[in-house]
Structure 1
Amino acid sequence: MKALLNIIWLVFGGLVLALGYAVAGIICCVLVVTIPWGIASFRIAGYALWPFGRTVVDKPQAGAWSVLGNIIWIVVAGIWLAISHVLTAIAQAITIIGIPLAIANLKMIPISLLPLGKDIVPSDARYPTYQRTA
């Protein structure tokens, strides 16, 4: 079922969403100071391609730099990304088939707001040192 949902997701918005995050990652990596946000954008792009069957967890070694970076990210891009995820989820939820896609889109809001200090792992994996956040 996860594979079918991922294929439907890929066709109806996932590919465009992943390309957007990948372009943002490239731009951030070109500007040397913003490389951490570029790496986070690439990580989110992979998650946007295939979200079903994966979840977001906190990295235990994330520290104060992640908090500071996330504050900067929220001001610069995070709030706009979260709003776009909500608007897209509303559009997807109009049809019955789109409801799981809308839920997956809403599930991406926490990582689009606070990408630093997070990791994306398979949802059925057991990671005793990680705390699940989504």
Structure 2
Amino acid sequence: MDNKGTEKNSQEKETVKLSCSYSTSNYLYWYRQYPGSAPEFLELILDGTTKTKKSDVDPRLSVKLTKQEQKHVDLKISSAAVSDSALYYCALRPTVTGNIWVPYKNPLPSERDSKNRADKNIVTQERKKCQAELLI
């Protein structure tokens, strides 16, 4: 994932574009966090289309996704206002590949002694985020 820790400064009424590029997941989430508050869910992109959007999200916020070898998602804020100043996150859903549920009818003696066999089958687990701080 690219664009970690980006800070954008903008003027009121300008259009602001926050970008996020990634290549590993089909689930991308956008969040906004105001100082002293918990992150607020804005939108979920699944396989390149908006699947879930917070019902009361300001209509000035829009998401545009372009699929290439590396996926690229822009969060646009039209007619920016001081109230848009916040930390914005794009986050990927954790991804696990490999068969983590392997049936063991008669495991080998060395496997019987293993306390956590499923851990051996986890190939990768990824949790990444991209953030941008917007100051208006």
TM-score interval for Structure 1 and Structure 2 normalised by the shorter chain:
under 0.3
Structure with greater Cα Rg:
2
Q: Which has the higher strand share?
A: 2
Calculate the TM-score normalised by the size of structure 1. Answer: 0.26
Calculate the TM-score normalised by the size of structure 2. Answer: 0.25
